[in-house]
Amino acid sequence: MAFLANGDLENELSKATVNLHSKFQIGTVDDRIFGGFLEHLGRHIYEGVFEPDHQLSDADGLRSDLREALDGLGVTIARYPGGNFASGYHWEHGVGDPDSRPTVRELAWQSTETNQFGTNEFVRLCRKLNWQPMLAVNLGTGSPEEARNWVEYCNLESGTYYADQRACNGDEEPFHVPVWCLGNEMDGPWQLGHVPVDEYCNRAQMAAKMMKNCDPNIELVACGSSAPRMPTFVAWDQHVMQRLGPNLADYISLHRYVGNDEGDSEDYLAIIKSVDQQIESIDAAARTVASRQTGGRRTYLCFDEWNVWYRARTSRDVDGAGKFAPPLLDETYNFEDALVVAMFLQSFIRHADVVKIANLAQLVNVIAPIKTHTDGVLKQSIYHAFRMISSRKGGQALHQATTCDSYKSKSHGEVPYLDSAAILDGDELKFFAVNRNLAEALELTIACADRPCNAFNDGELLSHSDLKAENTFESPDRVSATPLNDILLKDGRALIELPPHSFAALSLQLG
């Protein structure tokens, strides 16, 4: 970089200034926005997190190289067992003596499911990786009572039928699963057992009452509409929140998959504006419903599926053709996808007052930040974006008053070049910034009105000259973070030059 003696930058760049005040807080950034999602789909479980025959695997079937990669990602909570799979899954098939568990044809992804990995295996994996478990019950082909029985199996002290089965299966201590999803994408015609909204509410209400009666400490996530493009968007959500109320629906779910289908990177990088809008639309519905409730409680937002997914979507990518662990949804990510993943997380931080949980879909081999291969593990480009933010979690999200040059995107209107988020953690200011300008660097000034930036603690930069650069098993580090050094502190403000299309995560010491 080229700072002049007076602290100005040498070249004329596009500019952004972010003004903060330590008292202008949005809310606590919930650690659970750094969640992940595991589904019985493709090679996610088998040949993924459960590979008992691999030479690097421990007694629970987890490879040490995969464990190292998962540990580094910084996931806090993991949703399981689906996704679409959940709507045809009978949890009792996946517990007890592995030799007696049935092999079935599962219908969400047309694959063969051996049930060798089930509830106990999942919870042990969570404990090993320091993840909170989060389970999705089957409200497609399953019954509300089956859902309630699963809560008993997981969360009650032994002494009753299902809890005793858990103890018999080797886990005397209850699992205390804290968060449960009431089905998955039940507004979608592709979903097993898809129903109109009132029918979903009947099922969800019945299941929720029994589940909470069984364990009043659990929190429940009701199915929201499955994407903004759906005709159900907002209307379904509002109806569900109204029928269930905040006592049964602690959260409403949001899902979103995005992609650069048109090959227009400027437009693709602007897509996060529509994620902000998605959050704000569902939040508006939640507030509307809350205004009609007595007691002041409200339903919060659980963004329990989100990612880039647009390449591996053909019928070959989603149909297992009856095979066991077929390679499905095998998406290879590039550098521009990593920028989009960073912006998703920045959006969740900006909405910290309402988004309490979010789950990157998914974790291993299936639209995932990590791929496995018999001989190794690959960290895809999006891995680095996620890790750069999750490793700096904790604190209060701050409001930002930003002035910034902008551009006109094809689908999302006028968009500032800078997309950013700020977290205050005591004396530490964590800042995350994407420069969407494809041609020019961005001169970024960060100023906190009531507290000067006294020191630069550390920072990382994710930058690449080629938006389409990918990591591969042959070249695993093509896209990876480098230390961010070029920061200037002047008059209590921090000045950074962000290269064209780049992402920075940094920490400043405030006075």
Output 282 or 487, the one with its CB closest to ligand AHR: 282
C-beta of 148: minimal distance to ligand AHR in Å?
22
- Beta-carbon neighbour count of residue 354 at 10 Å? 18
Decide if 185 is catalytic. yes
Give the list of residues 6+ apart from residue 365 with CB closer than 8 angstroms, or none.
42, 43, 44, 47, 48, 327, 330, 371, 372
* C-alpha–C-alpha distance, residues 426 and 18, integer Å: 19
Task: Find the part of the chain contacting ligand AHR (CB under 6 A) among 78-86, 214-222, 270-278, 415-423.
Answer: 78-86
Binding to ligand AHR by residue 81, rule CB under 6 A?
no
Output 187 or 283, the one with its CB closest to ligand AHR: 187
Produce one character per residue of 252-287: b if its CB has 16 or more CB atoms within 10 Å, e if not. Answer: bbbbbbbbbeeeebbbbbbbbbebbebbebbbebbe
Produce one character per residue of 427-452: b if its CB has 16 or more CB atoms within 10 Å, e if not. Answer: eebbbbbbbbbeebbbbbbbbbeebb
- Identify the helix (H) or strand (E) that includes residue 151: helix 144-155
Binding to ligand AHR by residue 39, rule CB under 6 A?
yes
Q: How far is CA 275 from CA 159, 196, 209, 349, 382, in A?
A: 46, 25, 32, 12, 18
Binding to ligand AHR by residue 118, rule CB under 6 A?
no
C-beta of 118: minimal distance to ligand AHR in Å?
18
Output 181 or 279, the one with its CB closest to ligand AHR: 181
Q: Give the total of residues touching ligand AHR (CB under 6 A).
A: 9
Task: Find the part of the chain contacting ligand AHR (CB under 6 A) among 25-33, 79-87, 294-302, 486-494.
Answer: 79-87
Binding to ligand AHR by residue 443, rule CB under 6 A?
no
Produce one character per residue of 319-345: b if its CB has 16 or more CB atoms within 10 Å, e if not. Answer: ebeeeebbebbbbebbbbbbbbbbbbb
Catalytic residue among 47, 92, 121, 185: 185
Binding to ligand AHR by residue 404, rule CB under 6 A?
no
Catalytic residue among 51, 106, 152, 305: 305
Task: Find the part of the chain contacting ligand AHR (CB under 6 A) among 76-84, 126-134, 262-270, 477-485.
Answer: 76-84
Binding to ligand AHR by residue 142, rule CB under 6 A?
no
Output 126 or 361, the one with its CB closest to ligand AHR: 361
Binding to ligand AHR by residue 320, rule CB under 6 A?
no
Binding to ligand AHR by residue 106, rule CB under 6 A?
no
Task: Find the part of the chain contacting ligand AHR (CB under 6 A) among 81-89, 351-359, 430-438, 453-461.
Answer: 81-89
Site residues for ligand AHR, window 260-319 (CB under 6 A)? Answer: 305
Half-sphere exposure in the Cβ direction for 177 (13 Å, CA): 28
Binding to ligand AHR by residue 35, rule CB under 6 A?
no
Q: Which position's Cβ is nearest ligand AHR?
A: 83
Decide if 68 is catalytic. no
| Start-to-end C-alpha separation, the chain | 26
Output 51 or 185, the one with its CB closest to ligand AHR: 185
Of the residues 171, 185, 187, 237, which one makes contact with ligand AHR according to CB under 6 A? 185
Q: Per the structure block, which two tokens stand in for 291? A: 């205004």
Site residues for ligand AHR, window 355-394 (CB under 6 A)? Answer: 361-362
C-beta of 366: minimal distance to ligand AHR in Å?
7
Binding to ligand AHR by residue 184, rule CB under 6 A?
yes
Task: Find the part of the chain contacting ligand AHR (CB under 6 A) among 45-53, 77-85, 381-389, 398-406.
Answer: 77-85
* C-alpha–C-alpha distance, residues 175 and 169, integer Å: 13
DSSP string, 197-246: HHHHHHHHHHHHHHHHHH-TT-EEEE---S-TTSTTTTHHHHHHHHHHHH
Handedness of CA 308, 313, 319, 320 (dihedral sign): negative
Output 382 or 448, the one with its CB closest to ligand AHR: 382
Task: Find the part of the chain contacting ligand AHR (CB under 6 A) among 82-90, 160-168, 229-237, 423-431.
Answer: 82-90
Binding to ligand AHR by residue 83, rule CB under 6 A?
yes
Pick from 162, 167, 176, 247: nearest CA to 212: 247
**Which stretches of 227-355 are DSSP H helices?**
235-248, 265-269, 272-291, 315-318, 335-350
Scanning the structure block, which residue is given the tokens 């403000």?
Answer: 493
Of the residues 35, 42, 82, 94, which one makes contact with ligand AHR according to CB under 6 A? 82
**Is the omega angle on the peptide bond into residue 102 within 30 degrees of 0, that is, cis?**
no
Q: Which residues are catalytic?
A: 185, 305
| Interface with ligand AHR (CB under 6 A) | 39, 82-84, 184-185, 305, 361-362
